[in-house]
Structure 1
Amino acid sequence: MAEPLTPEGRAARRAAVGELGDALRELVDAAVRTEVPDAELEAAAVAARELAARLRTAGRGLYDIARVDDPETGERWYSPVYGPGSPVAPPLVATDSPDGRATGRVTVGKPHEGPPGLVHGGVVATLLDHVLARALRAAGRGGLTATLTVRYRRPVHLGVPLLLSAEMGETVGRRTTAHARLVAEDSPEVVLAEAEGLFVALRAEQAADVFAATGRSVGAWTSRS
């Protein structure tokens, strides 16, 4: 396993990870929209496999946590929802506050299309789930999603700046509820989708078991007194 990074080293690597992530998201977008000749597709496939081999010369195991991550706060730089290094993340830019609120802004493109011209419903649910969980973690109520109920009010179009907001609800023991909604930035009065979630915080011993394969302490999803 690679040595832990210094704060300066982590900042530098995060910048490099984000730069590669940006480039790969451009590649994914180009790949799902291209209509180049077959020969060009074949040449691009060869180049992509060469790049993959280059990146695999030093890598992590399936359960290893990236050195740029912070598992105590829940920040994941390769998250498929918002990770700067993930080629499949939209990516969502999210913020939160200790009073149990979170917001997000995202523009979803062609790689996450469901019906023609519309965002896939599963992607909408994923975005809502993330801001719900983020609101809870900000208030010290880490947990895993137990139930997620999504109501799709209107079609969500590709290429439209979207805003998400979430607010923590009631807490009973290790269970906490939260509510979130999704709107278009230019029509915030029209709710496109909304969700209610129930999250259950793991006891410390449960977390140790669930995340044992990582070999790390993962505090963002545990109970906090």
Structure 2
Amino acid sequence: MTDPNAREDPPAEHPDTHPGLVGRAAESEALADAVRRLIVLCTATTAPAEATMAAARGLNAIADALERHVPDPPLPKTLLHDPADGQADFGTRMPFDTVIGRHNPLALPLDLALEPPKAVLTGTFTRPYEGPPGCVHGAVLAASFDLVFAAANVIARLPGPTARLEIVYRRPTALGVPCRFEGEVESQDGRRVRTVGRLVQGDRVTVEATGDFVFLDRAAIARMAERLR
């Protein structure tokens, strides 16, 4: 007979869980979701001055409490070591990414899927990501292409930093309409990698992009990251 008071064991940690999330991943995601909600409200609320200031004071008190738990030096945002299962699980290895990070409230976040040889990003942008009225900010779209291209390069086993990113805005990209970013490696010339892609809303291409990347193996990328820390 099952004991109704028995507590279930928590789910096992993924072997590549970011060290800053061990034992607190669900709580960290809940915190990021709460801050995302605040970001939306900051761009929409017309609360009275007194209520606005009271909220600011309360949030600053919360920030003060959290700030006491920031390590020095800070932990890296991205895991660069070889994954335990041999697969590139971007969501697990980039939990604080600006585009797909579930634990970064700046991220929508977009959902990344690998459909070799393509990488695909999907999501629906909301008001905090607005540029022109009713449209997604061009800089947000550029960041999304940079991420989906990086994933496409990993699929092709050609990772490396961005050297050039060209964005061609064919037509406005509307807020509140599902987006699909696609990226695929087009060619390689020595260490130079060219990756191309597009953004589709419905049946219309709104943006096209081309990126040039410098192929580096994982060890070289890790050394570059260490120099810049």
2:94 corresponds to 1:85: no
CA contact (8 A) 2:32 2:103 kept: yes
CA contact (8 A) 2:124 2:177 kept: yes
Distance 1:204 1:57, change over 3 A: same
Letter in 1 for 2:136: V
Shift of 1:27: 1.1
Q: Deviations over 1:25-57 (max 9, x none)?
A: 111111111111111110111011111112112
Please give the alpha-carbon distance, in whole angstroms, between the structure 2 residues aligned to 1:161 and 1:201: 32
Q: Deviations over 1:61-115 (max 9, x none)?
A: 465315xx53235631111111001111121101114x43100111111111111
2:213 corresponds to 1:196: no
1:219 — aligned with what? none
1:182 — aligned with what? 199
Q: Number of residue pairs matched?
A: 205
Task: Return 5+ residue gaps in structure 1 as ranges.
Answer: 216-225
Shift of 1:151: 0.5
**Structure 2 counterpart SS, 1:211:** helix
Q: TM-score scaled to structure 2, two decimals?
A: 0.80
Shift of 1:124: 1.0
2:164 corresponds to 1:147: yes
2:188 — aligned with what? 171
Please give the alpha-carbon distance, in whole angstroms, between the structure 2 residues aligned to 1:9 and 1:170: 31
1:20 — aligned with what? 31
CA contact (8 A) 1:151 1:195 kept: yes
4+ aligned runs moved over 4 Å, structure 1:
203-206
What aligned pairs does 1:31-50 form with structure 2 within 5 A after superposition?
A: 31-50=42-61
What's the % identity of the aligned pairs? 32
Please tell me whether Structure 1 or Structure 2 has the larger radius of gyration of its CA atoms.
2
2:112 corresponds to 1:103: no
Distance 1:104 1:7, change over 3 A: closer
Looking at both structures, which has the greater relative contact order when contacts are Cα pairs under 8 Å and sequence separation is at least 6?
1
Q: TM-score scaled to structure 1, two decimals?
A: 0.82
CA contact (8 A) 1:180 1:194 kept: yes
Task: Return 5+ residue gaps in structure 2 as ranges.
Answer: 1-11, 82-87
CA contact (8 A) 1:164 1:183 kept: yes
2:65 — aligned with what? 54
Shift of 1:17: 2.2
Distance 1:172 1:61, change over 3 A: farther
Q: Deviations over 1:168-189 (max 9, x none)?
A: 11112221111111111xx22x
Please give the alpha-carbon distance, in whole angstroms, between the structure 2 residues aligned to 1:8 and 1:174: 32
CA contact (8 A) 2:122 2:180 kept: yes
